[in-house]
A = this chain, B = another copy of it.
Amino acid sequence: MYTLTDFRLQDGGTEKEDIIINGSRMMTGNGLLGCRGTMEEGEADAMPALIMNGLYDRQGTGWREPVNIPHPLSVRLLPDEGPVLGICGDPRLVTHSQELDFRYGILSRDTVWRLPGTDGEPFDVTVRSRRFVSMARRDSLFLEYRIQCTGEVNLTLLHGIQTAVYDIHGPHLTDPSCRFSEEGMKLECRTGEENRTIQVEQTCRRTGFPDSSGEREEENGQGFYRVISLETAAGREYTLELTGTVAVKDMTPVGTDLEKISFEGELERHKAVWDGIWDRGDVLIEGDEEAAAALRYSLYQLQIIAPRGLERNLSVPARGLSGQTYKGAVFWDTEMFISPYFLATDPDTARRFLMYRVESLEGAREKSAEYGYRGAFYAWESQERGADACSDYNVTDVFSGKPVRTFFRDKQIHISSAIVYALDRYLHMTGDLNILYEGALEMALECALFYYSRSLWSPLHKRYEFHDVLGPDEYHERVDNNAYTSRMALFTFQTALGLACLTDDNRYRALRTDTDYLSYSNSLIERKGYRKELKEIRDITREVYVPVPGEKNVVYRASPERSAMENSSRNIVEQFAGYFSLQDKFPAEIRESLLHPKEYWGGSSGPASGTRVIKQADVVLMLSLFPGEYSPEVLRANYDFYEPRTEHGSSLSACAHALLAVKTGRPDEALPYFKKTALVDIKGDSKHFAGLVYIGGTHPAASGGAWMTVVEGFCGLSINDGELTLNPRLPAGWTGVRFTVMFKDERYDIRVTPEGHEIQKRRETVKGEM
């Protein structure tokens, strides 16, 4: 069982399962590289991983996924007899503890093994290590590895580069070759699909080792190692300082000079960057220590994947840099749940997320054309340049073993609107119009063009509708008039028209008086030939149908459920046409009805598909995004209706519920959802395997949702008519929340208490090394 205290997460588990969970739970990283929290000696079955943001490979017909880079901080300790000292199932293990300092992203261990001595007396070997992925040198990670024995003994110490990594759809790397030199070793290998060269280097400093230590080089089943024969002196400490560096052309910074690096020196530089990060990005909850630590841990998980300070614009994968699951792809998670934190604390990073999408515009256009539409249909699972990694068959049927046709790729059209939504937030939070000139205006217009080409006029209803979509609730496929999707498409139209200065939308009045912008915007519209469609979009926008609370919006299949529904409440928004006519079941009933524990709940004939049980917030999410458009009664009635019918089968669900609970004036009901969200990676109780395939990892959207719940929910931060406003509703027991917000190039220190709130503008904006 883990221990969570302020900025410290400790765990002593040594079972296989603990090792897998700690791998994600104790991630370190710097936005470019992410390193799973496995121990130095861990072999492939411990699932060590070193992942580089944006580096993918595809083998044969397997899914395209991140490359698991050879691990440059591999250390293995062998007694004279018996296997390598390890923690899982090793009878020689006495104690093991590993700890993540999540203030500074330092993973340390303290492990003791007991071995039989040559004289019959047992003796102990203790290994203490610290390691971090440097925030100051983005291509490097550092390890300090200390060995101490209570007796004299012959040990074999191996340190090197581990090539025997695990892969889901690999192997991805070919032709490894390693050159050993006085300073260390340098491995070179190549990816299969793009034939990219990856260089992994290890340099080493030793302290306390006798000059007489025998030494050789070895290539073994695990990789390339330097092998040292060490006769220990009792009580004496032997220290290795290892530096691992990864170089991939166009992806890593160039020119790191390895010789000048020392562990302590680098640690100081690394910590200095972290100090700057926390200065901007910390949130302090007062009066609830668990909540405070969980939130900071969530912010840590976000910071270690933030791709700041790099040459390329990258975004963040839905499982962070914690492995190959979810194909290392970027989902709508970024725009809807992760971006808000960065936007409020580090707008440059939020801008990168947007620029990543701007640079993916061509991919989104191609995808749209693929399906016969126009404009930008963004990838559901986005890899580089917007390529969609999502398969048409993304689930395997447990009964037949056959692939199940899923509709994430082709019908989940709300992805493009999420990007426009994030852009709109970005513009209002930063006032940075430059991004519009840099491609974001075109992107927004192309997204609108996509929804335009996807819209349909119903002669029967005399309105524009969006048909055959998959909303956030993925258990109900190919539905018409999904409230969330339709509202977001409408928002996209409104935003595009506002940005094109074709409406009198107050949100964009500043643009309409900016002659430079007007001229840029007009010339873009002319050049790209958008004029005619924008006019049509203006007409369509007036008649887009979004399901309305209590409205008999679509009479579909008379059923007892439907009638009961209509009588019981006139405030509920129907999730999609026909939802009310489905069987009224609850998640526990579905769970009990399963014939197989891993049965997929969705799909055309899935156990939830014919019922009102939904995977995750859908109408609730819409209401939490547009609360001002609905009465408090409507917000409350929908929360009460949908909440018990939601499985929360996605990490995005709990935070949407928390936000709406606060907005309906029930912060105490929101608190459990907040904790669920903030603790998801600490508890590690989500699903880790599908069959034998690892599907676990970190949940950055939940981490971002934790911040949203506290700052946008409990503290009620929002922008109204160009001003920061707060509308706090703290849960019982919380005595205060302190945080910092960047708003239009100014920093504000904010403190919220049950009694009220203070906003203070900082005199000097410290420009730290971020």
Measured CB to CB, the residues of A under 8 A from B are 369-374, 392-393, 397, 399-405, 452-460, 464-465, 467-468, 477-478, 480, 536, 540, 554-558, 577, 595-596, 603-605, 609-610
Contact = CB atoms under 8 A, between A and B. Distances in A.
Contacts of A459: 452-453, 455-457, 464, 536, 540
A605 B370 contact: no
A531 to B, nearest CB: 15
B458 A604 contact: no
A402 B605 contact: yes
A456 B458 contact: yes
7 contacts: A370-B555, A372-B556, A399-B400, A400-B596, A459-B536, A468-B480, A478-B478
A707 to B, nearest CB: 38
Nearest to A450: B460
Contacts of A404: 604-605
B456 A372 contact: no
A451 to B, nearest CB: 10
Contacts of A577: 372
Contacts of A536: 459
A626 to B, nearest CB: 25
A464 B456 CA distance: 9
Nearest to A609: B405
Contact of A371 (B371, B399, B557): B557
Nearest to A465: B456
Contacts of A460: 373-374, 452-455
Given A467-B468, A468-B468, A555-B372, A605 B403 contact: yes
A397 B605 contact: yes
A566 B370 CA distance: 15
Nearest to A599: B400
A11 to B, nearest CB: 39
A369 B605 contact: no
Contacts of A400: 399-400, 595-596
A395 B111 CA distance: 59
Contacts of A478: 468, 478
Nearest to A458: B456
Nearest to A477: B604
Nearest to A557: B370
A373 B577 CA distance: 12
A372 B554 contact: yes
A604 B452 CA distance: 27
A71 to B, nearest CB: 39
Contacts of A370: 555-558
A456 B457 contact: yes
A548 to B, nearest CB: 15
Contacts of A604: 404-405, 477, 603-605
Nearest to A395: B605
A730 B117 CA distance: 101
Contacts of A405: 604-605, 609-610
Contacts of A458: 456-457
Nearest 8 CB-CB pairings of A with B? A604-B604, A457-B457, A399-B399, A453-B460, A399-B400, A456-B456, A405-B605, A372-B554
A244 to B, nearest CB: 42
A401 B595 CA distance: 10
Given A370-B556, A556-B372, A610-B405, A393 B456 contact: no
A555 B400 CA distance: 33
Contacts of A557: 370-371
Given A457-B456, A467-B456, A555 B369 contact: yes
A621 to B, nearest CB: 25
A603 B556 CA distance: 22
B467 A371 contact: no
B556 A371 contact: yes
Contacts of A401: 595
Contacts of A455: 459-460
Contacts of A464: 459
Contacts of A452: 459-460
Given A399-B400, A459-B540, A605 B393 contact: yes
B457 A402 contact: no
A551 to B, nearest CB: 13
Nearest to A460: B453
A542 to B, nearest CB: 13
A380 to B, nearest CB: 15
A405 B540 CA distance: 34
A741 to B, nearest CB: 41
Contacts of A556: 370-372
A449 to B, nearest CB: 9
Contacts of A371: 556-557
Given A455-B459, A457-B457, A468-B468, 15 more contacts: A369-B555, A370-B555, A370-B558, A372-B556, A372-B577, A403-B605, A404-B604, A404-B605, A452-B459, A452-B460, A454-B460, A456-B456, A456-B459, A459-B464, A604-B605
A612 to B, nearest CB: 15
Contacts of A603: 604-605
Contacts of A468: 467-468, 478, 480
A369 to B, nearest CB: 6
A460 to B, nearest CB: 4
A662 to B, nearest CB: 35
Nearest to A369: B555
Q: Which residue of A369, A401, A464, A604 has the most chain B CB atoms within 10 A of its CB atom?
A: A604
